[in-house]
Amino acid sequence: MAAIRKVVFPVAGLGTRMLPATKALPKEMLPVVDRPIIQYALEEAAAAGCEEFVLVTGRGKTLIEDHFDRAYELFDTLARKEKRADLEALEAAVPPPGGIVYTRQQQPLGLGHAVWCARHAIGREPFGVILVDDLIHAETPCMAQLAAAHARTGGNIVAVMEVPAEHTARYGVIRPGAADGRLVELRGVVEKPRPEEAPSRLAVIGRYVLMPEIFDQLARQERGAGGEIQLTDAMARLVGVQPFHGLRFEGRRFDCGDKQGYLEAIVALALERPDIAPAFRETLRRYT
């Protein structure tokens, strides 16, 4: 079974849930402690053994490209001042030459359209998709968990988690089949169903391993919920054609596209940092 070498990061969205902070600043560049959200996503993919990162951007996103570039003046200044820790942190954030590719989603036509825009960079091999808004904190990176499941079962794998019934209209929700530990057979998927119409409470979270045939489905450019080209609809057409499973991933997911989730991510990750956790914990006590 082929390893997952390439990962798509759809980052063309406007970030309207985080306005006014995201009026000029890409939502993916909002910091969680001392790193932008998108850096956590790329580090997760790299830790899973992925080698090529395909960022599907839009207008106003050039700051992302600058972040993953080598800023000579800054690197040189830190080197001359012998600020080795800062220099090492910056070096770690820069992908190897040729490891990152940018392409544009020129119209806001949905997640499926964004993934389709990456088709030439991916080619005809299995690939990952990471939605940057979903920051998943786990001992084993979530993408690594999906890649391991893909090596075992072949076909398509999506990360799933149980959500409250009243929240099903926010997600793609799967119709589950037989379960095998954390793996569950996927027999169908519905985009944003109302609670009374949801086939389960297992929602698809922003991590996928997909077979290249998904591009053939997305090429149909069919509109779904919200008038957009939905990745969920294209996945549904592969159910029964290729192996398809959901993985109840291990780890904790934070919705950093939402103010509450973003603040929770900052608190949770700060409390795990030995360099700042003790002082930060004392600070929090003053507000409880």
Q: Residue type for 151, please?
A: A
In the numeric block, which tokens belong to residue 252? 């904790």
Residue 227: CA atoms inside 13 Å, Cβ hemisphere, count? 2
Q: Could you tell me the pTM of the whole model?
A: 0.92
Residue carrying structure tokens 């001392």: 34
**Residue for token digits 């934070």?**
254
DSSP letters spanning 151-165: HHH-SEEEEEEE--G
| Beta bridge pairs of residue 31 | 36
pLDDT for the residue 80 = 82
For residue 100, give both structure tokens. 């990152």
pLDDT of residue 2: 57
CB atoms within 10 A of CB 78: 19
Distance (Å, rounded) from C-alpha 175 to C-alpha 152?
Answer: 21
**Full pLDDT tens readout for the chain, 288 residues:** 458 999 999 999 888 889 898 988 999 999 999 999 999 999 999 999 999 999 999 988 899 998 888 777 887 888 888 788 877 777 777 888 888 999 999 888 899 999 999 999 999 999 999 999 999 999 999 999 999 999 999 899 999 999 999 999 888 899 999 998 999 999 988 888 899 989 999 999 999 999 999 999 999 887 877 778 889 889 989 998 899 999 999 999 999 989 999 999 999 999 999 999 999 999 999 987
pLDDT (0 to 100) of residue 1: 46
Cα separations in angstroms, 75 against 26, 94, 100, 212, 280:
23, 11, 20, 39, 29
Q: What is the DSSP letter of 121?
A: H
Please spell the DSSP secondary structure of 99-135, one letter per residue: -EEEEE--S---HHHHHHTTHHHH-SS-EEEE-TTEE
Enter the tokens of residue 264. 């929770």
CB atoms within 10 A of CB 282: 9
What is the SS3 assignment for 128?
A: strand
How far is it, in rounded angstroms, from Cα 117 to Cα 11? 12
Taking the chain, what is the end-to-end CA distance rounded to the nearest angstrom? Answer: 51
Identify the pLDDT of residue 83: 81
What's the CA gap between 243 and 227, in Å, rounded? 28
In this structure, are residues 148 and 47 in contact, taking their beta carbons and an 8 Å threshold? no
| Each residue's pLDDT tens digit, 226-263 | 778 889 889 989 998 899 999 999 999 999 989 999 99
Contact 131, 253 (CB under 8 A): no
Q: Which domains can be identified in the chain, with CATH numbers? A: 6-155+203-254 (3.90.550.10)
User: SS3 of 180, please?
Assistant: strand
Q: In whole angstroms, how far apart are CA 39 and each of 49, 94, 125, 144, 222? A: 16, 10, 24, 16, 32
Length of the chain: 288
